[in-house]
Amino acid sequence: MNKVVNGADEAIRDIEDGMTLMVGGFGLCGLPENCIAALVRKGVKELTCISNNAGVDDFGIGLMLKQRQVKKMVSSYVGENAEFERQLLSGELEVELIPQGTLATRCMAAGYGMPAIFTPAGIGTEVAIGKEIRNFNGKDYLMEMAFEADFAIVKAWKGDTMGNLVYRATARNFNAVMAMAGKVTIAEVEELVEPGELDPDHIHTPGIYVHRIFQGEKYEKRIEQRTVRKRV
């Protein structure tokens, strides 16, 4: 039951060209920084990345975009990355923009073993083109398929050697649903402890979902838009 691996490079050792990855985090909060750095070092390419965002030019998935490692982005928000914009407009990068709630629920469906969901989000827009629509009780719903990801890469605040995870504040957003959804889930944590040291009532992701875990290092935890109150 010990799922500990020796760092990010070992954790991502079998991620290969052309695979589909879920990458946790919300904006620049809760990113698996060590795993992203390891993927850049490894140089895998033609990746499909499912993530809330595309990072910024020099942080997060933006580092992978800079190295032309990403073939397709599936995201709900991509507004902070100039290189992403350049690749999109030049036709180098395929992009699927979907409503944020749909993104989260398609992750959740994969974790629950559901093949599809029905949602009103996107009805009457470009999001619905080519997709099945069903009517329930007089209201149209769009059928969206659960994601199929080869790997989910997430970051938690604390974890134990059996893979149980605790997130902190905003970092819980997409990390929790993505941890359930990957065929293989890799978790990096700020603090790795022994079984029994985490309060069972505080565990957000049970270890059954996690296949590999390691303690990360040198977290930058960058803030996208820092807003402070003027001193009075």
Each residue's pLDDT tens digit, 180-196: 999 999 999 999 999 99
CA distance 199 to 52: 29
Percent of the chain with pLDDT over 90: 82
- pLDDT tens, residue by residue, 79-91: 778 899 899 999 9
* pLDDT value of position 225: 76
The tokens for 124 are 């009457």
Q: What is the SS3 assignment for 145? A: strand
pTM of the entire structure?
0.92
- Report, as an integer, the average pLDDT of 114-120: 96
* pLDDT value of position 77: 87
* pLDDT value of position 222: 79
Q: What is the largest CA-CA distance in the chain?
A: 57
- pLDDT tens, residue by residue, 135-169: 999 999 999 999 999 999 999 999 999 999 999 99
Which of 84, 20, 85, 66 minimizes the C-alpha distance to 47?
20
CA distance 53 to 174: 11
CA distance 206 to 203: 7
Domain 8-116+146-215, CATH among 3.90.1170.50, 3.40.1080.10, 3.40.50.720, 3.40.50.300: 3.40.1080.10
* pLDDT value of position 63: 95
- pLDDT tens, residue by residue, 29-68: 999 999 999 999 999 999 999 999 888 888 999 999 999 9
Q: Say if strands 149-160 and 165-166 run parallel, antiparallel, or are unpaired.
A: antiparallel
Judged by phi (left if over 0) then psi (alpha if -120 to 50, else beta), residue 171 lies in alpha
* Domain locations along the chain: 8-116+146-215
- Report, as an integer, the average pLDDT of 75-101: 90
